[in-house]
A and B are shown apart, each in its own frame.
Chain A
Amino acid sequence: MRIAIIDTSQSRAAIISEGLRDAGLDDVVVIEGTGRLVADLEAAAPEVVLINLENPSRDVLEEFFAVSRALARPIAMFVDQSDAESTAAAVDAGVSAYIVDGLARQRIKPVIDLAVRRFQAFARLHAELNEAKSALADRAAIDKAKAILIKRRGLDEPAAYALLRAHAMRSNRRIAEVAEALITSDALMGDMP
């Protein structure tokens, strides 16, 4: 069973195709979502197409499925009523799937379920990465704000931190936000006493 993956994120496409291969589905083609999309798809003649929901080529793709006579059997959307739950899970995860008409659904379901899990894993990885990045940025801002307080108010480091923390609690803001505000005002005020 040949599976085509069309994704605007190459790394996500790689993660999904790896997952499919691990599950023994090794006839996987990754298609770049650019100008040659339709021609590449025609050449690959897949039985299952997985595409990320936010891909800008989805309307073009659906038109191709509607009019294509190049594929032996027309591709219909995987939205069989009996599989509504599976399809909903796929849409929630950000993936839409198309299959050739008449492909047995017990063969499809594992593919969809696996794609959903891989999409979710990718989203989690992304969220964690963003969190780590923003934690790093927060740390840098707090360090810089502390340095400003040490220099201008003659505080030591624990006192500078305590001041930031106390101000954050009083104004119901995050310490990093208070630090950012301090850095901005320091930059604007320059050497003014």
Chain B
Amino acid sequence: MSLDRVRIGFLPLVDAALPILAREQGFAEAEGLELELVRDMTWATVRDRLLYGHTDAAHLVAPLAIATALGRGRPAVPMAVPFVLGLNGNAITLALPLAEQVLDDDALGDPTILGERLRIIARRRAASGRRLRFGVVHRYSSHNYMLRYWLAACGIRPDIDVEIITTSPTFAADALAVGEVDGICVGEPWNSVAVDRGVGRIALVTAQVWRRGVEKVLAMRRDTALEVPDTVHRLIRALHAAAAHFVAPGTGEASAAILARPEYLDAPVDPIARAITDRVRLVQAAEPVHIADFMFQYREAANFPWRSQAAWLYSQMTRWDGTPFSPEEAEIAASVFRPDIYRAALAGSGAPLPGASSKLEGAIGGGAIGAGSTQGRLILGRDQFFDHRAFDPDDIPGYLAALP
């Protein structure tokens, strides 16, 4: 039987793991698919290849899929996200001179205490005309929104008290080394590469800012998703199987060895293995520490594209682009995420399928709770923002008005 070919664009990051493992570990082949993976160095090019048909799907920062559907900075193209490739997995790494001023031991920082100390320094630096500068990977990235959310909640005004610029993740360590930035918010392995090079230390991970923050997604043009539904369903099943494999005990080393190859991440294997197994080295040469849910790729239906996740990203987009809230735009944004396609693909597989398509985000304070499902048993674990605000997708204006 000949295999159907699917081309997927990606950037060299640990969270590109699911399409890579789907190809390398036979999950795609089992679904009758041959994956061709197309590596690029910028999100702009991953997006352009997707829009102009060089690829059929892409590993993409979630906000960029929404920005593309809304036509921010370019004509709008309808998009579909039928699968979430993972939650969190990013970190905030500070240049050593700044880290020494705000962290007093080699442990992971506390977002509130760290933010308080950073605010004093940020204001002082702003007054002296040399604002602190942070690098994020893209204007429309979860990294940008997580960093800004944290800073703003700590009384540090992005773009006023501190500067936030775009740096390519692969050059982030260099930017720290030469003092071009005081901190970065990027994905793995690039924080760990900076730590191992001795040019920065990991101060926070994004899971501390939002415990279940949506990260990379599988993005497609909407017309592609609708033209070949069967192929899309098989792709989703292959990625779902790859996700189960990714988190299975004892697979981390082998997955890291595959990801490290020159055609994929072309990066040292050790930091990749640490990220996969939630062990993070915060300071050069220190023992890695275990951080629960640092990367979250499978459990609790983590791959399910909740419309409320897209709505949260849209709320942050209006917040930081300085555009007014629009109910029409909110609807377009939420409709990019396609729980219907996810359900159709995994019906009959035993995977838990949420009954709802939207939920309150960041609203599970205590232990795990059971959630309504149409298939399988769905348990959702603790999910909070560090400042304990919850997001109601039906009241974005109210949410925005209450934010600092």
Contact = CB atoms under 8 A, between A and B. Distances in A.
Contact of B41 (A56, A76, A79, A91): A56
B170 interface: yes
Interface in A45-102: 53-63, 65-66, 76-77, 79-81, 87-88, 91-92, 96
Nearest to B44: A58
B266 interface: no
B170 A56 contact: yes
The DSSP consensus for interface residues of chain B is loop
B44 A91 contact: no
A80 B75 contact: yes
Contacts of B166: 59-60, 62-63
Contacts of B45: 53-54, 58, 96
A56 B168 contact: yes
B142 to A, nearest CB: 14
Instruction: Sort chain B's interface into a size bin.
Output: 20 to 34
Given A80-B75, A81-B75, A59 B42 contact: yes
A66 B164 CA distance: 13
Interface string B31-61: 0000000001111110011001110000000
Contact of B42 (A56, A66, A81, A87): A56
A91 B52 contact: yes
A52 to B, nearest CB: 10
Contacts of B281: none
B90 interface: no
A109 B48 CA distance: 19
Contacts of A91: 48-49, 52, 54
Contacts of B139: 59, 62-63, 66
Instruction: Sort chain A's interface into a size bin.
Output: 20 to 34
B9 to A, nearest CB: 12
Nearest to A61: B44
Given A87-B52, A91-B49, A96-B48, A59 B74 contact: no
A33 to B, nearest CB: 11
A46 B63 CA distance: 29
A59 B168 contact: yes
A20 B401 CA distance: 52
Contacts of B74: 76-77, 79
A87 B138 CA distance: 23
Contacts of B54: 91-92
A152 B348 CA distance: 65
Contact of A62 (B44, B49, B52, B167): B44
B165 interface: yes
Interface string B332-350: 0000000000000000000
Interface string A139-155: 00000000000000000
Contacts of B44: 58-59, 61-62, 96
Contact of A60 (B40, B52, B168): B168
Q: Which of B48, B54, B74 has the most CB of A within 10 A?
A: B48
A74 to B, nearest CB: 9
B52 A88 contact: yes
Contacts of A59: 42-44, 137-139, 166, 168
Contacts of B41: 54-56, 58
Contacts of A88: 52-53
Contacts of A54: 40-41, 45
B327 interface: no
Given A91-B52, A92-B52, A60 B167 contact: yes
A175 B266 CA distance: 33
Nearest to B52: A91
Interface string B265-277: 0000000000000
Contacts of A55: 41-42
A79 B138 CA distance: 20
Contact of B48 (A53, A61, A65, A66): A53
Contacts of A66: 73, 139
Given A79-B74, A81-B75, A57 B48 contact: no
Q: Which of B44, B53, B170 has the most CB of A within 10 A?
A: B44
Nearest to B45: A53
Contacts of A56: 41-42, 168, 170-171
A88 B54 CA distance: 10
Contacts of A80: 75
B321 to A, nearest CB: 9
Contacts of A53: 45, 48-49
Nearest to B54: A91
Contacts of B40: 54
A66 to B, nearest CB: 6
A101 to B, nearest CB: 12
B59 to A, nearest CB: 15
Nearest to B53: A88
A56 B73 CA distance: 19
5 contacts: A53-B45, A54-B45, A56-B42, A62-B73, A66-B73
Given A62-B166, A65-B73, A96-B48, 12 more contacts: A53-B48, A54-B41, A54-B45, A56-B170, A59-B138, A59-B139, A60-B165, A62-B73, A66-B139, A81-B75, A88-B53, A92-B52
Interface of A: 53-63, 65-66, 76-77, 79-81, 87-88, 91-92, 96
The 3 A-B residue pairs whose C-beta atoms are closest, nearest first, are: A63-B166, A58-B44, A58-B42
